[in-house]
Amino acid sequence: MTSARTPLLCMRGMSKSFGAVRANQDVDLVLYAGDVLGLLGENGAGKTTLMNMLFGTYAPDSGAIEIEGRPVTISSSADALALGVGMVHQHFHLVPRLTVLDNLMIGRPGNRGRLDRSGARQKLEEIGDRFGLRLDPDEPVSALAIGEQQRLEIVKALFRDARMLILDEPTAVLTPQEADFLFDALRAMAGDGLGIIFISHKLYEVKAITNRAMIMRRGKVTATVDDIGSVSERELGELMCGHEIVPPQKAPSEPGKVLLRLKEVTTAPGAEASGGAPLREVSLEVRAGEVLGIAGVSGNGQLEVAELIAGVRRQTAGELNVTGEIVIYPSPRAIQDLRVGRIPEDRLGTGLISSLPMADSMILPRVHAAPFSRYGVLDRARIQDFVEGQVERFDIKCAAIDVRTGTLSGGNLQKVLLARELAFDPLVVLAAQPTRGLDVGAAQFVHERFLEVRAAGGAILLISEDLEELFLLSDRIAVMYEGRVMDTLAIEEATVRRVGMLMAGASSEDAA
């Protein structure tokens, strides 16, 4: 047993409050060398807060941290790195124009102002051999695939001699095959004596990669599992949510007429450097009463499809047809008037306005028309009636309808968007990453609403990087790669392996 040894990391009695919210209450965490510890919990359970205290981003209200038995104070990421704590965030911190090697050199103390490039090159090679994390040192980061960029983030931590590594939802951006590759590397690192903390809310991943797990709920540790083999995925899920999970039941689909059609749509490359792939002759069809899922690794044109249908991007060729009307110049207003409900990927950036009252965010697209305004003057009473009605219908948890939008939790933000976009019986619903970052309960709520729309004869275009979600809801799945639709599979013939290969760019014959 490992328990006789001194733990690599020991956090005791960690507490942290934000105003009235107690994000962490008396949390203990122990990590041994060779451990892969799963940190499991719904969104808002306090996982990220705990890790941010370990990484020096937040100061704890109380609690003590020991590393290899020595008490330490960590008040910045530099402190954490110096103590051997490495973190791979969901959003990478890389300089795209610099090479792999130069990204490793950033922030590294030089030898009297001189950079030791050859030494770094050698070390990079060593790390590559030891853990199977190979990277071309001279390749610019902008040329790396997302999976490779994540690999570089891990290498960066190892390069600084990290002895423990925190990975925050690392598989969200990966194809299933890339995730397997990551798991192999993590096993190699654990075998080499590193301690790994793996943050996730995906149960099968936690089952697959960790040997121990710690479950958090509402800022407290609610359970620890010392042998992950002894519990089932279902039991883990119940520990995480605090109640039993019943997946929504999907009635057989009876597709009606086509409500949304893209015919050989091509778009210009985005102006912004970070943009994904422009669309190349994309053809899609969604019928009444069906869910079309779009799978793909982030940045392969899904965002462009969503933007086109939302009316914030224009096609350079091809045809967009919504409910039988050809839309030559898509604009948000034109699209909305054709009764399209739109759930954007970035809830707070694109959908809602963080600093405005929640009620204002909820009426944003319709404020110009009755019943919310007349002759340009807002009808505050009608607005209040509408918002209060929707708050009740969608079970939105908020202290008042005029709280700042940004203070709501992720699940409630998504409910505000649903309440707004599903309010006036849309014919078509566009949903991009609708459950990203949501806890199981909130995700299930979203899924149920979509299935209601489907049952009522609405057409749903579901863009998601969560394969489980796609397989659960879709009637057909289209897979995108580099701006093209590789293939569209009926749900009966779609398998994770086949979709995964299409996501990686394999032709439909190879993937069959």
Partner 1 sequence: MIRLRLETRSHTPGWLKLVLPLLAILATLLICAGLVAMAGADVLAAYSKLLLSAVSSRFNFVETLVKAAPIAFTGLAVAVAFRAKFWNIGAEGQLLAGAMAAAFIGGRAALPGWSLVPLMLLCGMAAGAAWALLPALLKTRYRVDDVVTTLLLNFIMFYLMMALVDGPWKDPLSGYPDSPDIRVAAEFPILLGGTRLHLGVLLAFVAAPLVWFLMRRTTLGFNIRAVGENATAARYAGIRIPVVITGTAALSGALAGLAGVGEVGGIHFQVMAGLSPGYGYTGIVIATLALLNPLGVLPAAFFFAVIITGAESMSRATGVPVFLADVFQGVALISMLIAILFTQYRVRVQR
Residues that bind partner 1 (CB under 8 A): 18-21, 58-59, 75, 310-312, 331-333, 336, 342, 344, 349-356, 360, 364-365, 367-368, 373, 376-378, 380, 403-404, 407
CB of 298 to partner 1, least distance (A): 19
The residue type found at 470 is: L
d(CA 432, CA 306): 7
* Cβ pair 467, 295 in contact under 8 A: yes
Q: What's the closest the beta carbon of residue 348 comes to partner 1, in angstroms? A: 8
Of residues 1 and 329, the one with the C-beta less far from partner 1: 329
Question: Which ranges of 281-409 does DSSP label H, i.e. alpha helix?
Answer: 302-310, 332-337, 358-363, 380-393
Tell me the CA distances in angstroms from 257 to 102, 138, 264, 355, one per residue in order: 55, 53, 19, 41
Among candidate residues 483, 71, 60, the one with its CA nearest the CA of residue 278:
483
Q: Which is nearer to partner 1, 69 or 376 (CB)?
A: 376
* Smallest distance from partner 1 to CB 352, Å: 6
- In the bound state with partner 1, the residue whose beta carbon lies nearer, of 97 and 368, is 368
**Taking the complex as a whole, how short is the minimal distance between the CB of residue 323 and partner 1, in angstroms?**
17
250 vs 366, beta carbon nearer partner 1: 366
Least distance between partner 1 and beta carbon 56 (Å):
11
The CB-based long-range contact list for 124-130 (8 Å cut-off, 24+ gap) reads 124/100, 124/155, 124/159, 127/155, 127/158, 127/159, 128/155, 130/188, 130/192
Length of the chain: 512
Instruction: Give the nearer residue to partner 1 in terms of CB position, either 379 or 468.
Output: 379
Closest CB to partner 1 among 41 and 311? Answer: 311
Closest to partner 1 by CB, 258 vs 348, is 348
Which residues, including other chains, have CB under 8 Å from residue 206's CB and lie 6 or more apart?
A: 38, 40, 198, 200, 213, 228, 236
How do 36-41 and 212-217 pair as beta strands? parallel
Query: How far apart, in whole angstroms, are the C-alpha atoms of residue 24 and residue 109?
Result: 35
Nearer to partner 1, 224 or 373 (CB): 373
Tell me whether residue 134 or residue 368 sits nearer to partner 1 (CB atom).
368
Query: How many Å apart are CA 79 and CA 160, to the nearest integer?
Result: 12
Distance (Å, whole) CA 100 – CA 391: 49
Torsion angle of C-alpha atoms 156, 12, 237, 452, degrees rounded to 10? -80
Q: What are the CA-CA distances from residue 399 to residues 131, 336, 381, 403, 508 (Å)?
A: 50, 30, 19, 7, 51
Nearer CB in complex with partner 1: 98/312: 312
CB of 366 to partner 1, least distance (A): 8
Instruction: Return the SS3 of 266.
Output: strand
* Smallest distance, partner 1 to C-beta of residue 372, A: 8
Work out how close the CB of 386 gets to partner 1 at its nearest, in angstroms, rounded to a whole number.
15
Shortest separation between residue 350's beta carbon and partner 1, angstroms: 5
**3 state SS of 97:** coil
Buried b or exposed e, range 132-164, using 16+ CB within 10 angstroms: ebebebeeebeebebbbbbbbbbbbbbbeebbb
Q: Considering the complex, what minimum distance in angstroms separates the CB of residue 443 from partner 1?
A: 23
